[in-house]
Structure 1
C-alpha cells in the first residue's frame, strides 16, 4: 500500500495515484508534505486556489477537471488568476490534478 511519510513519523494512506485515501487525513501539514513531494513550495497564491477547490468539492462533491478549475478560479478569484498559464505556474503542467492532490481530494474525473 502506498503511504505518505510525515516528518513526525506518521504514515498517511494514499491510493495508487498518490491521492489521499481519506479526506479526513488532510491537514495543512499533509498538504505541505504532498507539495514538497511535488517540488512545490506553498505560498498564499497556492493556498487561495487550494481553498477554492476544497470549497467547490464541499458544494458539489466533485474535484474540478482543468476547464472547470479555470472557470472556478476566474469566477471566484478574478480573471487574471483564472487562466491556465497562471495555474500552471503555481501547480505545474497538470494543475487540476496537482491542486486536487494537495487539497486532499480525489483525482478529478476526465483528467489524464
Structure 2
C-alpha cells in the first residue's frame, strides 16, 4: 500500500522537474537573444534604458554636411539629361548666339 501512494508523488516530482528544466532553457535562450540584440543595437548607436530607448546621432560638422549635400546635387545635375528641353536663356548644343537669332525666326509655335 505504501508503494502505491508514492507513485503519484514521484510522477509529480518528475513532471515538476521537467517543467523546471524547460523553463530554465527558455529563460536562458531569451536572455542570450536579448544580450545579442542589445549589443547589435548599441553598435548602431541605439541604447535601451529603464526610461525607454535612446538614439544617439553621429555628429557631423555643418561644413561637411553642406559639402555632402552640394556634392549630391551636383552629381544629380551632371547625370541628368533633358532630351526635348531647349532653354530660351542658353543653348545647350553649343551653337553661337547668331545661330540662335536665326533659329528663333525658324521656330514653329
With the length of structure 1 as denominator, give the TM-score of the two structures.
0.19
> Whose Rg is larger?
2
Which structure has more RCO (C-alpha within 8 Å, separation ≥ 6)?
1
- Which protein has the bigger helix share? 2
With the length of structure 2 as denominator, give the TM-score of the two structures.
0.20
